[in-house]
Every structure is written in C-alpha cells, then in structure tokens.
Amino acid sequence: MTIFAEGRKMNWYQFVKLSQIWNPSYDYDGEINDFRDALATIYELEYKWSMAKTRLFNGHPKRNSNIIRHMEQKLWQAVLLVQQYILPTFEQWLGEHTILNPQEWAIARTRDAEDDDENGNCGLSHALYEYVRYKYGPFGLPITGNYESRIMSEVLSSAAKNMAAYPAMSQFVETFKDNLRLDYENEFEAEQDPQTKQELQEQLQNVENLGLYDVIDYAGDNDPDSFANLVRSNYGDMCPIVQEILANNVFPLWFQYWKKQTNEQGNNIVATRKNIEKVTEQLRYVPAMDLSRAIMTINVALNTIHQGGSMIGYLEDDTGESGLQKLLDDLSSGKNVPKWNKQLKEVGYDLSQPVVKFE
C-alpha cells in the first residue's frame, strides 16, 4: 500500500521512517511526556536539525522543509518544557546560596526544615549539625557525650554576648520575663504567708535583671528539644530564632568554607553564583528567543547543572526524577550519533559533506 506525500508515492515503511526522523528514538507515541523525554528530545533533535540544515537532501525540497519544520516544532516543545523545569531549580539554588544576605540565606535554609522536622523545631538540630560541621569538620568533634547540649550552650553563649544581632531571641527572653512576672504577681496576690510574700516580692524584682542564660536555666537543660519547648511555650514560632542562629553562627562558617572550595572549573562559590545568576537571567527569556539561541541557553544551563554537583539534587526534587546525572552523562556521550546518522541517511540526507552555500 502507498500514500501520497508532496506529489510523490511513499510506502508505509518509508513514511514511518520519515516520521521517525522528528520523533526521537525513545518516543513511541509521538508525545513528550515528561522531563526525561524532553531532555532526550533536545539532545537528539538538535543534532538531527543541525545536520538537516547543513547537509544535502536527496529528495524534494518541500519534503526537506517539512522535515525541518517538524523538527523545529518538536524542539520548541521540548525546550519550553525543560525551561519550565530548570528555571525554578536555578532560582531555588540562588535563594539557598544568598551569599551577600545571611538573613535570606537562613530563611531559605529553614523553609524546607519546617516540613521535614517532625519535632516542630524548624530544623534546629540540623542547624547545630551544620555549625559543628563547618566549625570543627565533619569527621571529628572535639566534644564527647551529649554534644548537642554542648553545642547549644556554645551557640547561646554567642547570642548572649550580642543580643542586638538576635532580635527574635531577645523578644523571646522579654516574653518569658513577662510571663514569669505575671506568674509571680498572681502568686503574690494569692499568698497569705508574709515571709513567702517577701520572697515572691524579691523574685519579682529580680525578673528585670534576667538574661538569656538565666531564662535557659528554667528549661532544666539546654538540649535542643528542651530549648525549643521553652521557646514555643513563651514565644511561639521557633523558626525566627533558628534563622538567627543560622545567620549569625552558621553562615559565616559556611561562607568561609565554600569560598575556599573550587569546582572542576576552578570557581569558588562567589564565581559560581555569578555564573548561575547569569544563566538564570538568560533562562527567563527563553520563550522570546529564536530557536537556535534558546537551545544554546538550555544547553548552557544543562551543562551548569551537569557540572554543579548539588544542583542535580535540586533538579531531581523538582522533577520527581532520579538518576539524572547518569542520564545527562549518557545523552552527552555521543553514543547515539551513529544511530541518528543512520536514520538521517534512510530518509535521504547525504552526510558525507556539508552543503556549500554561495552568497
């Protein structure tokens, strides 16, 4: 059986081969169903599209134009889908690596912790872990026993020396003192014994002089859970206090550590952030670009993710996909080029030499 295409007869085998050239090899239903499909489409059709535009076609010019048009339509579909996925990944990475604003960095750090922390402590234990990691190194702590209590004491001691940098912590202390003062006043009014009333009066007068460490003593212990319970019962929201610990105690250590580290390109976190800012800005304008520039922008972004290490994790979380590092390795290896060349030849492209165009 034959069908007509652009004035020439084609059998079903030839027609299927022709349609396969713009439907990527992995694709059996003609649709780009997910992020992995879109990635594979870009790598495959970018190559085929480039070859179709630069190699002789042994067939009707209108058929060649039709092939190129179908490739471009499919490429745009894949490019826009990938852009929709990876732009939020870049924006999230920037939000969590706000190296010039410790407060924003800390807020981003606690955003996910609110959902992940079963104790409702807004990631306090993880903040202390990061403090230990960047101050003392990940493989050996200079402390034994209940190290969380010891580290909690170290952090609170730092806060007590500079409460102006911890406004939420300061407000917690003041709220605790207000609650304690109210308790003493109620006890004083209800007490009948003169000596006990005198003791309560003295305690009431001492409330004003209480500092952070005096307040912590009422928790009975300075382990993270006890501290968090005291904060929640007197202040409410634990996150602003964790954010202050992150911004004042963890961020300076984190930044100094990563400033000394370099990636495969020899860039530290400052240079890496500048590069990712540039790529992110370009990604926002992909829908307004021509196809060649849009593909180039996506490729730069994918290469940044591929070499960025931690960015792969962000992307897997955003897409729900796993094994993306291996997928990018496979797609960029060029191992499928012989198969793609075979498909191009089957529909009429001469790959032996490029077309020479005269102006």
In this predicted model, what pLDDT tens digit does every residue of 147-158 receive, in sequence order?
A: 778 888 889 889
Question: Are the beta carbons of 225 and 117 closer than 8 angstroms?
Answer: no
- Count of Cβ atoms closer than 10 Å to residue 202 Cβ: 10
Give CA torsion, residues 191, 193, 196, 202, to 10 deg.
80
Q: How high is the pLDDT of residue 140? A: 52
DSSP assignment, residue 353? E
Q: How high is the pLDDT of residue 207? A: 75
Question: Are the beta carbons of 134 and 257 closer than 8 angstroms?
Answer: yes
pLDDT at 174 over 80: yes
Spatial CB neighbours of 304, under 8 Å, sequence gap ≥ 6: 275, 276, 279, 311
- Higher-scoring residue by pLDDT: 195, 83: 83
Residue type for position 354: P
- Count of Cβ atoms closer than 10 Å to residue 165 Cβ: 14
Question: Are the beta carbons of 277 and 204 closer than 8 angstroms?
Answer: no
pLDDT at 358 over 50: no
| Coil/strand/helix, residue 56 | strand
- Global confidence as pTM: 0.66
Mean pLDDT of 47-72: 92
d(CA 202, CA 191): 14
d(CA 293, CA 298): 9
φ, ψ of residue 352 in degrees (nearest 5):
-70, -35
Q: How high is the pLDDT of residue 153? A: 86
pLDDT at 94 over 60: yes
- Average pLDDT over the chain reads 82
Kindly report which listed range (17-21, 27-31, 351-355) carries the lowest average pLDDT score. 27-31
- Higher-scoring residue by pLDDT: 125, 73: 73
d(CA 220, CA 243): 24
| Coil/strand/helix, residue 57 | strand
Q: How high is the pLDDT of residue 359? A: 43
pLDDT digits (tens, 9 = 90+) for 284-293: 999 999 999 9
pLDDT digits (tens, 9 = 90+) for 237-281: 899 999 999 999 999 998 888 888 776 666 778 888 888 999 999
Q: How high is the pLDDT of residue 183? A: 79
- Higher-scoring residue by pLDDT: 223, 344: 344
pLDDT at 180 over 60: yes
Tell me which residue of 95, 106, 104, 90 sits closest to 253, measured CA to CA: 106
- Higher-scoring residue by pLDDT: 174, 217: 174
**Quick one: pLDDT band at residue 201, thresholds 50, 70, 90?**
confident
Q: How high is the pLDDT of residue 136? A: 85
- Higher-scoring residue by pLDDT: 334, 26: 334
**Quick one: pLDDT band at residue 144, thresholds 50, 70, 90?**
very low
Q: How high is the pLDDT of residue 240? A: 94
- Higher-scoring residue by pLDDT: 215, 340: 340
